[in-house]
């Protein structure tokens, strides 16, 4: 099915909009150009090259604040999910706004500590395969909470805490067996998935944990998946968690925290139609209504919903080609730069950085593909796009989450540079790699 990408930019997050650019002594109009905050993306591409990740600091801050306001009626801490985008400068920006962090590896914890050492007290550590070294580092850092995902991990945590003679605050991540409408690779809430412990076994494990000197039972955690755009599954999961909290308190456990996880999705198609404040409010109601009267502190782990729409991958058209009527637009970005379309069949809107008036634009159905030697190296298939010529720029939108975080050096391709734009200033937050960088550590 052929799908048409928008070209107006109307209603997009304010970080990425079309504006008129004027040039020359008489300040004549040079046409409409896509801007990130107050800088034309053409200027960024000319100066920093392509492919290029561009992020809007204003969008990140505004969406974090909107999420925070949505939960203002309950005690809560936002623990940004580092895996969505782990650049140190983005972590610093969020920490400055009051964010805590959700980490799933020792490396991510180290990133948080480098970005803002004091944020350790607002870190939750999730993940099914925490090593002893990672657990020990987190205990020494004094993190807020371990989300424990198995009985074996529970005893490893107890062993590490005893060795340090320190208390390990924990929540069991329970698997509520709630289905969510998302890609099977990022669905996590069913008993067939590797995550968490069955909710029916939780009371037995909590009893075992409470009997161990260096383990401190303090919460319940749950996570049902990622890129979930309907709030009903969250409400269903929290209803089951609320019942469990009541039972645990009846058993004598002190449960102060409930961690609903993350997973709130974004509309990669027709993103212009979404009012994020209303969306976050609906999510908040789904999470908090089942918990009413329990007087718990809610820990939240948004990632994609904060940074996804704040980023774009800018790429230049290398070639146009036609194979027996099939049109291809070959660009200089590839699946190693943005894996989501190849990995999940994910949709990203693609727009020209410079565009004409709507009435004069001619659309054509094309595949937008990269240079990597894989037929899976594509960003769009049979997509109706405004015709673009060789040398022109395209912007792949909503690429702020799981873009650079999943990037690789496949085909010995250096990864792109990353820019953080704030108003009229642009800061390089990761320099473009060189092939020499890729070879340096090899023997």
| Closest residue by Cα to residue 415 from 431, 427, 399 | 431
Q: How far does the chain reach from its first CA to its final CA, in angstroms?
A: 48
- Of 304, 321, 347, at which residue does a domain stop? 304
Give phi and psi for 430, each to the nearest 5: -155, 125
Which residue did the predictor score with more confidence, 57 or 13? 57
If asked whether residues 72 and 213 sit together in one domain, one would say: yes
d(CA 360, CA 366): 19
CB atoms within 10 A of CB 215: 22
pLDDT the model gives residue 10: 42
Which of helix, strand or coil describes residue 19? strand
User: At residue 390, does pLDDT exceed 50?
Assistant: yes
pLDDT the model gives residue 75: 97
pLDDT the model gives residue 1: 45
**How many percent of the chain have pLDDT more than 90?**
78
d(CA 384, CA 375): 20
Instruction: Report yes or no: 107 and 125 within 8 Å, Cβ to Cβ.
Output: no
The per-residue pLDDT of the chain, averaged, comes to 90
Q: What is the mean pLDDT of residues 426-434?
A: 98
- Of 259, 287, 304, at which residue does a domain stop? 304
The pTM assigned to this predicted structure is 0.91
Instruction: Report yes or no: 301 and 223 within 8 Å, Cβ to Cβ.
Output: yes
If asked whether residues 259 and 375 sit together in one domain, one would say: no
pLDDT the model gives residue 8: 43
If asked whether residues 415 and 295 sit together in one domain, one would say: no
Which of helix, strand or coil describes residue 235? helix
Judge whether 373 counts as a catalytic residue: yes
pLDDT the model gives residue 36: 96
Give phi and psi for 394, each to the nearest 5: -120, 150
State the catalytic residue, choosing from 36, 79, 160, 373. Answer: 373
d(CA 305, CA 282): 14
Instruction: Report yes or no: 54 and 312 within 8 Å, Cβ to Cβ.
Output: yes
pLDDT the model gives residue 85: 98
pLDDT the model gives residue 15: 81
pLDDT tens for 126-171 read 999 999 999 999 999 999 999 999 999 999 999 999 999 999 999 9
User: At residue 14, does pLDDT exceed 80?
Assistant: no
If asked whether residues 318 and 284 sit together in one domain, one would say: no
pLDDT the model gives residue 31: 77
If asked whether residues 136 and 182 sit together in one domain, one would say: yes
Q: Give me the number of domains the chain comprises.
A: 2
d(CA 427, CA 421): 6
pLDDT tens for 295-314 read 999 999 999 999 999 999 99
If asked whether residues 106 and 249 sit together in one domain, one would say: yes
- Of 304, 333, 356, at which residue does a domain stop? 304
CATH code at 245? Answer: 3.20.20.10
If asked whether residues 111 and 208 sit together in one domain, one would say: yes
pLDDT tens for 400-429 read 999 999 999 999 999 999 999 999 999 999
| Closest residue by Cα to residue 197 from 210, 184, 188 | 188
Which residue did the predictor score with more confidence, 349 or 355? 349
pLDDT tens for 210-260 read 999 999 999 999 988 778 888 888 899 899 999 999 999 999 999 999 999
Containing domain of residue 183, as a range?
A: 58-304
If asked whether residues 207 and 321 sit together in one domain, one would say: no
């Amino acid at each position: 099915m052929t799908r048409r990408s928008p070209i107006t930019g109307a209603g997009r997050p304010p970080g990425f909009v079309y504006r008129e650019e004027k040039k020359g002594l008489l300040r004549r109009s040079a046409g409409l150009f896509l801007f990130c905050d107050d800088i034309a993306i053409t200027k960024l591409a000319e100066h920093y090259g392509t492919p290029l990740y561009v992020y809007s600091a204003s969008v990140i801050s505004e969406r974090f604040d909107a999420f925070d306001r949505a939960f203002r009626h309950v005690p809560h801490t936002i623990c940004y999910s580092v895996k969505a985008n782990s650049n140190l400068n983005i972590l610093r920006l969020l920490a400055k706004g009051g964010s805590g962090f959700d980490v799933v590896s020792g490396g991510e914890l180290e990133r948080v500590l480098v970005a803002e050492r004091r944020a350790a007290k607002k870190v939750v550590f999730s993940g099914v395969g925490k090593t002893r070294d990672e657990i020990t580092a987190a205990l020494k850092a004094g993190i807020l909470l371990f989300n424990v995902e198995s009985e074996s991990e529970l005893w490893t945590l107890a062993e590490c805490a005893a060795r340090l003679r320190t208390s390990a605050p924990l929540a069991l991540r329970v698997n509520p067996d709630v289905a969510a409408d998302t890609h099977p690779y990022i669905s996590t809430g069913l008993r067939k998935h590797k995550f968490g412990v069955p909710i029916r076994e939780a009371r037995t494990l909590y009893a075992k944990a409470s009997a161990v000197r260096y383990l401190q039972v303090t919460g319940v955690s749950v996570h049902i998946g990622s890129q979930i755009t309907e709030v009903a599954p969250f409400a269903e999961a929290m209803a089951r968690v609320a019942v469990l909290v009541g039972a645990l308190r009846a058993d004598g456990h002190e449960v102060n925290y409930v961690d609903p996880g993350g997973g709130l999705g974004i509309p990669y198609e027709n993103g212009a139609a979404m009012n994020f404040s209303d969306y976050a409010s609906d999510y908040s109601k789904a999470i908090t209504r089942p918990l009413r009267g329990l007087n718990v502190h809610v820990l939240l782990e948004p990632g994609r919903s904060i940074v996804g729409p704040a980023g774009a991958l800018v790429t230049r058209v290398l070639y146009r080609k036609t194979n027996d009527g099939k049109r291809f637009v070959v660009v200089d970005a590839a699946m190693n730069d943005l894996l989501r379309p190849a990995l999940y069949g994910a949709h990203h809107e693609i727009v020209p950085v410079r565009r004409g008036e709507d009435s004069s634009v001619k659309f054509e159905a094309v595949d937008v593909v990269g240079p990597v030697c894989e037929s899976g190296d594509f960003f769009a298939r049979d997509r109706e796009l405004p015709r673009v010529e060789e040398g022109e720029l395209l912007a792949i939108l909503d690429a702020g989450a799981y873009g650079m975080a999943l990037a690789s050096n496949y085909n010995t391709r250096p990864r792109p540079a990353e820019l953080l734009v704030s108003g009229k200033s642009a800061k390089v937050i990761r320099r473009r790699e060189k092939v020499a960088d890729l070879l340096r550590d090899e023997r």
